[in-house]
């Protein structure tokens, strides 16, 4: 959430940032509501002061035996005016909060301008796409041929864009998530958490999914929401707290299912496992001081990259342009893995620095060592480390063999009973 004081002093910067994101300027509308709200507060204070004075006059008049009927009438009228103003002030305050909650974060000044992914900038690459001497298959052809990837049965249970995995593919998915968690906890210093999959409105407001993106989420009849990412649960662990600055950075990870209605992505990537309503992901979250945020973003990206390096999968890292970064992000690096069937790189992780945008929405603060009074908002970061389903897709496609089998990456074999290959069975 943006600070209203910053908006008052930097309206031009806000509108410029919104234009960079491809949105329309909104500073004028926000500041008009802010003006009305502050004016209503001033009027309320003036009437309150007048009412207090009138009440004192009534007390003085009664002690002197003077008729107070007109004064009582005046106080009653002031009370009615106050009630009207209190309602107006409350409504304006809610309108202002709603306006601010719907404003995206301010893009970092260093990120490239642009309106979409075609304007993103490649930072680095790892590995080279394989040269296949045979006609390659996509992950659906491979999984269905194994008899281990079932979209039809899943659709009978849940509808389109769900899948059921069994046997070696279910084992491969479990091995991938276990490998990711072990890597991040043992080598990268993240603490593993088991977190709720159902959250209240406030948690999603805190990380920026609500109120703007409700259509992309699943809500239960009880009013709880299914998490679209473990970022929501992990980041909100510090909500409404003042944490000790000496404990920073906090680095957290969790493996959870993620649920997305993908209302804004209709018609895109509906084939196979690329974009589903339910998928597994290992999430990384960091809570840091403002001074450490940029270096932490680089660190988090490298941690996520190391998963693909261990699997020896070709990938590249791109920096997103201002028109392509997420709502809560200041700066974002996407990691894109090579998918042979599509002959291109596809996103498998998105690592973002959100600045103090989320901590303000959560009212999460920290106190520096020796500071007994002042507090500051920490900066929050999140990234996929990685999306498990898409990693499985990448393994199947990049490790496929001419006979239709799939070689298991060496690093995963101890997690799969030392199995070396997934084979076709008659």
Residues acting as catalytic residues: 260, 275, 347, 350, 390
Q: Report the chain's C-alpha Rg in angstroms.
A: 27
Q: Is there a contact between 406 and 200 (Cβ–Cβ < 8 Å)?
A: no
Residues paired with residue 381 on neighbouring β-strands, in sequence order: 286, 353
Residues 6+ apart with CB under 8 A from 21: 104, 107, 322, 323, 325
What distance in Å separates the CA atoms of residue 154 and residue 129, rounded to the nearest whole number?
A: 32
Q: Is there a contact between 228 and 265 (Cβ–Cβ < 8 Å)?
A: no
What phi and psi values does residue 150 have, to the nearest 5 degrees? -125, 105
Q: Is there a contact between 380 and 297 (Cβ–Cβ < 8 Å)?
A: no
Q: How far is CA 403 from the centre of its chain?
A: 41
How far apart are the two ends of the chain, measured CA to CA in Å?
Answer: 58
Q: How far is CA 240 from the centre of its chain?
A: 18
What distance in Å separates the CA atoms of residue 115 and residue 325, rounded to the nearest whole number?
A: 10
Give one DSSP letter per residue of 30-99, joined into a string: HHHHHHHHHHHHHHHHHHHHHHHHHHHHHHHHHHHT---HHHHHHHHHHHHHHHHHHHHHHHHHHHHHHH
What distance in Å separates the CA atoms of residue 297 and residue 353, rounded to the nearest whole number?
A: 6
């Amino acid at each position: 959430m943006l600070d209203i004081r910053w908006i008052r002093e930097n309206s031009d910067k806000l509108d410029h940032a919104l234009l960079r994101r491809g949105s329309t300027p909104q500073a004028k509308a926000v500041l008009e509501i802010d003006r009305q709200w502050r004016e209503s507060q001033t009027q309320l204070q003036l009437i309150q002061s007048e009412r207090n004075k009138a009440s004192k006059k009534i007390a003085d008049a009664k002690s002197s035996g003077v008729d107070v009927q007109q004064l009582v009438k005046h106080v009653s009228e002031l009370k009615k005016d106050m009630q009207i103003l209190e309602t107006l002030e409350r409504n304006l305050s809610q309108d202002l909060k709603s306006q601010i909650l719907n404003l995206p974060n301010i893009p970092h000044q260093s990120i490239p301008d642009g309106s979409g992914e075609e304007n993103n900038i490649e930072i680095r690459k790892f590995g080279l796409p394989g040269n296949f001497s045979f006609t390659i298959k996509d992950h659906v052809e491979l999984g269905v041929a194994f008899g281990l990837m079932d979209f039809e049965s899943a659709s009978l249970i849940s509808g389109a864009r769900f899948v059921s995995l069994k046997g070696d593919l279910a084992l491969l998915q479990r091995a991938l998530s276990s490998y990711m968690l072990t890597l991040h906890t043992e080598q990268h210093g993240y603490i593993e958490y088991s977190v709720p999959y159902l959250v209240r409105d406030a948690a999603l407001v805190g990380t920026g999914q609500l109120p703007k993106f409700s259509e992309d989420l699943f809500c239960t009849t009880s009013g709880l929401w299914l998490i679209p990412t473990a970022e929501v649960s992990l980041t909100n662990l510090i909500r409404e707290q003042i944490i000790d600055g000496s404990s920073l950075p906090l680095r957290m990870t969790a493996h959870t299912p993620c649920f997305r209605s993908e209302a804004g992505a209709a018609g895109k990537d509906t084939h196979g496992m690329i974009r589903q309503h339910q998928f597994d992901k290992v999430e990384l979250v960091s809570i840091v001081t403002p001074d450490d945020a940029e270096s932490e973003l680089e660190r988090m990206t490298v941690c996520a990259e190391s998963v693909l390096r261990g699997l020896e999968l070709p990938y590249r890292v791109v920096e997103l342009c201002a028109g392509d970064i997420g709502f809560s992000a200041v700066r974002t690096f996407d990691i894109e893995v090579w998918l042979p069937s599509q002959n291109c790189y596809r996103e498998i992780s998105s690592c973002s620095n959100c600045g103090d945008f989320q901590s303000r929405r959560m009212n999460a603060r920290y106190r520096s060592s020796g500071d007994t009074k002042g507090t500051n908002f920490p900066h929050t970061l999140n990234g996929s480390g990685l999306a498990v389903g898409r990693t499985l897709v990448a393994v199947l496609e990049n490790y496929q063999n001419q006979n239709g089998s799939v070689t298991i990456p060496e690093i995963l074999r101890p997690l799969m009973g030392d199995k070396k290959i997934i084979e076709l069975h008659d």
